[in-house]
Chain A
Amino acid sequence: MEPFLTHRRKLLLRRAITTDDKYILETRNLVHSFSENEVVLDDINLRVEQGSIYGFLGPNGAGKTTTLRLVLGLLKKQRGSIRVFGQKFDDNRVEILGRIGSLIESPSIYGHLTATENLKLLQKIYQCPKARIAEVLELVGLANTGKKKAGQFSLGMKQRLSIAIALLHSPTLLILDEPTNGLDPNGIIEIRELLRRLNGEHGITIVISSHLLSEIDKLVSHIGIINKGQMIFQGTLDDLKQKQQQSLSVVFETSDEAVTRALFVRSSLNASFKDGKFSMPALPKEQIARINRELVDGGVEVFEISVIKNDLETIFIDMVRD
């Protein structure tokens, strides 16, 4: 009776986890440093919603990989907490890892073995059906590599094999650190399509890190931006687009800098001057027309009035530059 109860309890627990918890992965106040003077992560609160594709963005060295390594238990946690599937990672490491597929930085494959052999040794651990090996190889386009050793693969093929490894046991959560590194544009598109399919058709939650927003903005539903070890933005892609709206600016180019500047000061407009042009946050079109009229009436020639619409990448770059 006891084994049945244990199994039943596990099932109930799993159901509770998959239905009640909004966040499949959550870190609270995660702090990490490699030396006393160097804080690599400062108060990271990562919140990945179930069923989402979460883009984890940041420039190189921002702390993305360190965060993901902590989440996977590859680094000893110093401060904060990590919960995956609603469970504390520290207390349920083995059970949690059984439901995660991961790829951290460069490919992790045994070069002296074939693609099939690489998967076979993991199939032994996961005890998933042997047929999964052929399935995932087919999925990543490596079905015909035969007896070729993985060490002889191109970087792109190695990356695909790593993704196959991450998918082998049909994980619930996929953590991919820069998975498109080394892939050609076609390969990037294929991987993107594959991830979209895994998320859409199989409900797999995906955390994907990148240092380029443009690489993943068509794929993700949620975004977290980290810079210098601090989370500077976290929300849905729509939230970020909202920010994009807010970042619109108006540019004026005129024949007289002094008169134009005096007008802006009188109108309490916060304008900056660069490369012969004034720039300021977006204004109502009526106000733009009024300024134009006043400039012309004051004898100033207006060469250009334009609205600058920043793309998401520019916003991201602006965020990490600050």
Chain B
Amino acid sequence: MMTFIHSFQSEWLKTKRSLAFWMVVIGGFFTPSIVIAARLFHYDKLQQIYSSDDFWNLLWKNSWESMALFFLPLGAILSTSLITQIEYKNNTWKQLHTLPLSFTTIFFAKLAVIVVLMLEFFALFNLGIYLSALVPYLLVSGTPYPAQPLPYMFFLQENALYFLDCLPIVALQYLISLKFKNFLVPVGLGFVFWVAALGALSWKYGYIIPYTYGMFNYLKDATQTRAVVPDVNVHLLAIGYFAIITAISYFLYITKKEKG
């Protein structure tokens, strides 16, 4: 266990100043920044918005619209691919594979770093959402503090579901990016899967594409949508896909003939 923790710490240090790190920071604050800008631009409507009994739920829904459909899947695709790309770009797989670590430790420590980066992405996004409520309130005089109490439990529950939903994307992108040295392959394939997922939202079997789950989670309460939200529990499917794809990925990784 200690070996795994040391390996994780080592992997985490590699993300310092890396593109994946900046992706997470920028991605987490992007939508909240747009929300803040839009609200400051339409400052005359702030009093009405902040007085709403449904303030936090509406803010949550607005913030997650672009996140669930675009930034979360694309963020997962890019950050996962960028993490493995650190080794390819620096020609360091051979260095990593000559360390006194089992291949299992290396595989799961790297995956754990990606998962924690995703958690960081969620944490920053949530902080961003809170700031997008707070900043207009502080900057525009006369804006009341939101009338609705902050629904912590709802936020936590939804975060957990979105997080589960993005895990199959992480697993599949991890598999592809371990397999291909060229960065364009995992990113290109990820983009193709994402477009396919968008196209499959209105298909009754769209849920077989693992990139759709976050989108379906967002659209589950939508009234005006062409998407066919499936009756199946997509979150369980997400966990199943994640476990199966990770198992395949692990098998392919440890049986790889050339390790750097």
Contacts and interface: CB of A to CB of B under 8 A. Distances in A.
B95 interface: yes
Interface string B81-117: 0000010011110110111111000000000000000
Interface string A124-144: 111100000000000000000
Nearest to B8: A124
A121 B13 contact: yes
Chain B interface residue number, banded: 20 to 34
Contacts of B14: 110, 113, 121
Interface in A98-128: 98, 100, 102, 104-113, 117, 120-122, 124-127
Interface stretch (A46-54, A73-81, A208-216, A283-291): A73-81
A95 interface: yes
Contact of B17 (A102, A108, A112, A165): A112
B99 A75 contact: no
A75 B258 contact: yes
Given A117-B13, A120-B13, A127-B6, A97 B100 contact: yes
Contact of A74 (B9, B90, B258): B258
A155 to B, nearest CB: 13
B10 interface: yes
B258 A102 contact: no
A297 B177 CA distance: 82
Given A113-B17, A120-B13, A125 B90 contact: no
B188 interface: no
B16 A125 contact: no
A124 B102 contact: no
A125 B100 contact: yes
A74 B259 contact: yes
B10 A125 contact: yes
15 contacts: A69-B260, A76-B257, A76-B258, A93-B102, A98-B100, A100-B98, A106-B91, A108-B91, A108-B95, A110-B86, A112-B17, A113-B16, A121-B11, A126-B99, A165-B95
Interface of A: 69, 72-76, 93-95, 97-98, 100, 102, 104-113, 117, 120-122, 124-127, 165
Given A112-B18, A125-B10, 12 more contacts: A73-B97, A76-B258, A94-B102, A98-B100, A105-B94, A106-B91, A112-B86, A113-B14, A120-B13, A125-B6, A126-B100, A165-B95
Interface of B: 6-7, 9-11, 13-14, 16-18, 86, 89-92, 94-95, 97-102, 256-260
Top 7 nearest A-B pairs (CB, nearest first) are A98-B100, A108-B95, A121-B13, A124-B10, A76-B257, A97-B100, A121-B10
